[in-house]
Structure 1
Amino acid sequence: MSDEPQCNCEENATDPYLVGAGETKLTIPVYLELDTLEKRLLVYIILFLGGSGNILTILKICFDSKLHKSTFLAIMLLAVADLCTLIHYFVQVLLVVSNEEIRQFSGKLFMTLYYIVTHSSAAHLVGFLLVRYYTAADPLKVLHLRMSVLFKASLLIWILSGMFGGFYYIFRFELIHLLCEFAVVMTFRVYLLIVPVCIILILHAKKVRVLRRSVSLRTRRRMTSSRMSVMTGLIVCIYLSSAILYPVCFVFASKQICVGYVYCKVILMVARVMWLINSAINPVLYFLFSPPIYRFIKKTLRKMPCCCI
């Protein structure tokens, strides 16, 4: 009998709670089980709003020649990545609900695809904010940026995301007898958590600094910086909520902190809802924080008692 520590923890796209003889295993599904009417309504509403919002964003930018600019193209490419994430989620939920056999057979495939689309969505978000930064720091460079460069960059992101998912599959399912499951899963999860958030915050800080040093009117600079700060803060908070709760729950499971699953059930539910919202919310944020809508919301809130923005 080996004295080496065993990692009795598992991440999968199957049932969230499995109890074996003498050990506890917690899987971490990326979908929300549709076992109640409330959950079905929540998932279908978010999928519908997110899917239609991303599709409308893509179509609007494609067919409106006024929007054939670098920033809007970056938004469109991000919307494509988010739409792929939502399609992956929708197909997975349908297969999970409809066929137990398919669920057991396709668990590894769906987890690999999950890492591919999640990495792609995060990378496209970073790419969008990078374009936004250069729009403020070097507008002439962005103005002369060819659309083909952005398409090639997006293609490169998808290739790298495919490699990322492939590495996850190899280390998680093929070489797991040589490695610790906990170390493998946490490495990939922490990468998806730390790297995008750090890059986003750095780009945002640099862009705000550039705007404050610009020759624009002081009030205009302050309003733009404030609007950008709120929008970027929301994007980061939503992404953090969707990325940090999975590894937290995984640590709880591996250390058996939440025996009985009372706490983990709540954390898992919030994590899965936030991951779904993260893929659906971007079109809403673009709309709410567009200059005319943002000014209208601020004026409305200022007229309300006990509100000060």
Structure 2
Amino acid sequence: MMAKPVDSSLTAGAFGRLFRSVLFVFLLGASGVSGACGGLPVSAPAMRHNADGAELLARGDLDGAEARFRLALELRPGFAEARANLGLVAVERGDLVGAEVSIEQALDADRDFALGWSGLGVVRERQGDAEGAMEAYGEALAIDPTLPTPRRNFAFLLAREGRHPEARAHLLRLLAVDADDPEAAAVLGWCELRLGRPRAALDRATAVLVRWPRHPRALLVRGAARARLGDFERALDDLERAARARELRADALTHALAVATLAGDEPRARQIQANLDGQRPERPSSMARASLAVARASRTAPASH
């Protein structure tokens, strides 16, 4: 049975960490880029060491990758790509300070190294410096607006920071050149929802699920949109399916708990609460309490459209 639409605040509390893990670390290899070395070309052996290091890094061989990148730098100390790749090794080792130093050294060698700026944005984002990350992504896009990775990262960070109109604009541009990006399309649906357009959010999430039926973030967004429109039963189905993805489980269950409470389905709410308590050490979590408070208050809220 369709219930009345609910206040949009229902969708706010449970999705605060929706984009917390959506980061892309650039991987540089032999791409035909000569690197910046005071105007001098990079030798073929240096390019080969850098490419081999990139392959080793992709396989998780950090020591081997570091050795290759350092060999490339011995041959050409100003090789920006190899220097930035050392920063990636540091990222994988959890050394964000070292990563930032290496990538900034690469940028000192080549201020027009767009992927270097993109990588610096990732490091700053992981350090919790959202403004610094946005600045770095903006520098990358100013140098090369065609690069998808910094635009994607920039858009996701804007969405996470609540700057939904700007995020939406970047996502539309990103999807215009790469329609085969379900994650970006799902985040675009989330932006529509937060901008007060639940039907547009529903349409965008559904379009993703037509092609990728199990995409967890699209399920999460569709469930949130359906809840906003008062379709609680199907919202719960989507949210419980989204909860099968470990990285989204806590957010999906928290929102499902709010929806079940709002729908008056106490048995289902108790089961979801039990699953949520098993997911988080705190009983109940602050996020769950906030979400439930909104749900209970919404029972008496006037309908919105």
What TM-score range do you get, normalising by the shorter chain?
A: under 0.3
TM-score, normalising length: structure 1: 0.25
Which one has more relative contact order, counting CA pairs under 8 Å at least 6 apart?
A: 1
Q: Which structure has the greater CA radius of gyration?
A: 2
| Structure that is richer in helix per residue | 1
